[in-house]
């Protein structure tokens, strides 16, 4: 089941205080970026954030699940998606810990 654009827009709006956030459509679902860094996914109208040590400590009681079959588990954020301040802080600290993407090789 693909995610709704309305839900994607809601999530991007909720985390607008975490910097420049963009959502890119991929295979009917969405990848979330802060600048160049991929930090999360929206799949089946659920928010998944890449796991980091600081994110785990910030969340406390973490729920992990794969965003799609065969994927590595990510933090599943359900109950706190309406808390704009909390969600923005989670994204901000998680993005700070994630590495920059590796440069693409030229053909």
Other CB atoms within a 10 A radius of the CB of residue 29 amount to 21
Residues 33-87: tens digit of each pLDDT: 998 899 999 999 999 999 999 999 999 999 999 999 999 999 999 999 999 999 9
CATH architecture of 5-97: 2-Layer Sandwich (3.30)
Q: What are the beta bridge partners of residue 43?
A: 46
Whether residue 94 is predicted with pLDDT greater than 70 in this model: the reply is yes
Whether residue 1 is predicted with pLDDT greater than 70 in this model: the reply is no
Residues 2-35: tens digit of each pLDDT: 788 999 999 999 998 888 899 999 887 999 999 8
Sequence spans of domains, the chain = 5-97
Question: In angstroms, what CA-CA distances link 28 with 43, 51, 66?
Answer: 8, 23, 16
pLDDT at 27: 81
* Nearest by Cα to 8 from 17, 93, 33: 33
């Amino acid at each position: 089941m693909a995610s709704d654009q309305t839900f994607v827009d809601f999530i991007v709006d909720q985390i607008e205080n975490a910097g420049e956030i963009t959502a890119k459509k991929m295979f009917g679902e969405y990848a979330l970026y802060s600048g160049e860094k991929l930090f999360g996914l929206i799949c089946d109208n659920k928010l998944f954030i890449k796991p980091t040590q600081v994110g785990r400590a910030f969340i406390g009681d973490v729920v992990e699940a794969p965003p799609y079959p065969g994927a590595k588990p990510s933090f599943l954020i359900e109950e706190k998606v309406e808390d704009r301040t909390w969600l923005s802080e989670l994204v901000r600290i998680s993005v700070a810990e994630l590495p920059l993407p590796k440069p693409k090789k030229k053909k």
